[in-house]
Amino acid sequence: MRSALIYTFSLIFFLLNARSSAGYDERHLNQVKTGKDCVKCDLSGSSLPTVALKGSALARTNFSRSNLQHADFRSANLVKANLRKSDLSSAKLSSANLQDANLDKTILHSANLRNANLKRAKLKQASLNRTNLAQANLTRANLTEANLRQVNLEGANLTGSNFKKSILQEVNLSGANLTRADFTNAKIENVWLIGAIYCSTKMPWGVEVPNCK
């Protein structure tokens, strides 16, 4: 009897651990696989490459540590979504609303975020190689220690954004709004700044203020 009880408790413990390590809720996973809205869902640790969620409502959904390569989030509502440590390589995120979203340590290689709203988004230590952020709103976004190589930020709004200790190599900042942006201790090489707007901008070599009104 005692052995049977020990076995039963061990089995329950194993199943609970298996559920927590998988992370995501199976019902939520099936829901998004059919392209349905999924607000406040738990999809952490899931594998959803090429998932089609264009225009979907996904606010506050947890996608942390997920495989989202080539996923389609165009015009999706991802306000306050958790995408921390996820792989969004080649994902389509143009015009998506990522306000207050957590993208810390997220991989965004070759992702398209043109016209996306990333206001106050967390992108600390994110990897953005060949990422398209043209015309995106990155007001007060946190890109501390982020890696930006061959990134297109043409015409982007970077007002109050934080690039401290980040790496920017071959980045296009032409026409970008750099008002109060902070590049303290950032490594900047071969960056295009034609037509960029400076106002109390903290560059690695000092504060730029020529276009303040």
pLDDT the model gives residue 196: 95
- From CA 211, how far away is CA 96, in angstroms rounded? 30
Residue 186 tokens read as 């950032």
pLDDT-derived band at 23 (thresholds 50, 70, 90) equals: confident
Give Cα 27 to chain centroid, integer Å: 24
Beta bridge partners of residue 208, listed in sequence order: 201
Each residue's pLDDT tens digit, 156-170: 999 999 999 999 999
Each residue's pLDDT tens digit, 168-187: 999 999 999 999 999 999 99
- From CA 23, how far away is CA 149, in angstroms rounded? 32
Main-chain dihedrals φ then ψ at residue 52, nearest 5 degrees = -105, 105
Cβ neighbours, 10 Å, residue 128: 29
pLDDT the model gives residue 213: 63
- From CA 14, how far away is CA 87, in angstroms rounded? 28
Residue 100 tokens read as 């207050």
pLDDT-derived band at 22 (thresholds 50, 70, 90) equals: low
Q: What is the mean pLDDT of residues 9-33?
A: 63
Model-wide pTM > 0.85? yes
Evaluate if residue 19 carries a pLDDT over 70: no
Pairing relationship of beta strands 167-169 and 147-149 according to DSSP bridges: parallel
